[in-house]
Chain A
C-alpha cells in the first residue's frame, strides 16, 4: 500500500499551456507527468516546444483545474439558437443607410485597422 502511495506522488499530471507570441493567447498543448512544477516546466519545453516559437509556458497541476464534467459539457456548451441580438447580424441595413448619406460603413475590418491611424 505504501508502495502505491509513493508511486502516485511521483507521477503527477500537469497540463501544459504556452503562448506563441505577444499577441496570441495561451493555448493548451497537452499533459505530461512530472514529480514537481520545475521538472514539469523543463519537460514541457522538451516535449512540446522543440520547433515552435514560444515566449511563455505555463504548467498547472491537473488537480488544480476545475474543468467541466462530461455532463456539464453536454448542457452548458449548447448555444441558444437566437443570439443575433449579441452580434452585428441585425445591423446590416446600416451600410445602405450610410451609403445614402455618402458615408462609409465603420465595420469591424475598418475599426481594427485604426491601430495604423496616421493622425498625431
Chain B
C-alpha cells in the first residue's frame, strides 16, 4: 500500500489597482500590451518601484495564517530567459520572504480536522503570456499580465490525498477572499496551483521522488491531476521502475500528466538580491495596523454562525467557505429570523443553482431579501415546501417579488379544513380497494400506506393543501 505526499505552491494574484513595480493597470482582459508600461516592457534604463499596497496584503495574509512576519524581507532576481519575461529575470523573494512559517486548519471528510503547515509566502511579479494561436507560424507576446503582483504560498508536504489538497486549497481560497486581497478566480488565472506529488510505502518516513504538476487551474483539476499522478507513480513502482524528478503538465481533456522538463534540464535561477530595490522593512506599527484591519476570518465566522444561528458544524463550514455566500446567508437568516431554514435554503437551492450555472452569489437572481420573504411565507404557512420551490423558481426567472408570485400563481396554501375534507372524501370515494386494504392492514403498516392517499389529495389540490392538515384529516377519516 502506498501513501501520497503532497505539497502545494499556490500563486495568488493580488487585487491591487496597479502593478507591483509600475503604475500600469492590472485589469484582466484588456487588448494585448495596452497595459504594459516602459517598466513592464523591461525597457533599457527603467527601474522598479514597489507598490506599498502589496506589503499590506501579504502581511494580512501572514497574520491570517498565524505566520511569522518578515521584518526585513528582500527582493531577489530569479534569472531565466523566456519571451514573456521582459527583463530576463523575475523579481521575487528567495532567502528572506515577507511571510515566514504559518499554519491553516482543514476539515476532513470524516469530520476531523488537520493542521497543515505553511512554509512561507513571498511576493513576486507575474510574467506576461505567450500567445501561440494568434499569428500563423509565430508566437506573440502579451505583457499586460507582466508585473501583476503575486503572493506565492508554499505548503509543507503534509497533504496525504488529493481530497486533502483540495480542502487546503479551498481554505487558502477562502482566506484570500475574506481578506479581499485577490478575487481568487482560478479560471482567469488569479489563483494557480503547482502540485508537488510523491508516493511512498505506507508507514515509511523517507520521501519518494517527487514530480511537480504546473499551473493547475481549478479545484476539480487539482483533485484529478493529483489522483492521476499518484496512480501513474504507483504503476511505475509496481512495474519495478523509478519515478523521475521532473515538471509535468496536466491535460484535463485526456486526464493525464505529461512530462514538461526533467531536473537535468531545469534552470539554475542564480538568485541574488535585486540591487534596484531596498530591503522591505516593516515596523511594529505597520504590522499592528494590518492586524487591526483584519476582517473576521472563516474559522471565527463559522464558530459565530454555529452559536448565533443554531446550525450544525458542517452547515456552518459550507456556508462560511465563501465570504459572499456567508454574507448572503447571514442577511437571509437575520431578516427572516430562521437560521436553520435559511441554511437549508442557501445550501440546498441557492448553492445548487450556483454550482449548476457556475454563477456567483454577488449577481445571483434571488436577493437575500427575496429569499427571506420566501422563508417568511413558509413560516406563516402560506407556502408549503412544494409551492415554496415553485416560488423560488419564479424568483430565479425574475418574475417578480414573492407575494406577487404567490398571488399570480394562486399558490396560497389551502388550510381551510372544510375544503380539504371535501377533497379527502373524494379520494376515499374514488379508491375503495385501497381504502379496504388500508383498513385491513395492521397499524404499523398503515403509516406507509397513508402516503398514497396524501399524494392523491395533494395532486387534487394542485399542491396547495397544507400537508399537516391533509395527514390529520386522512388518518381520522380512514380509521373512522
Asked if chains A and B come from one complex, the reply is: no
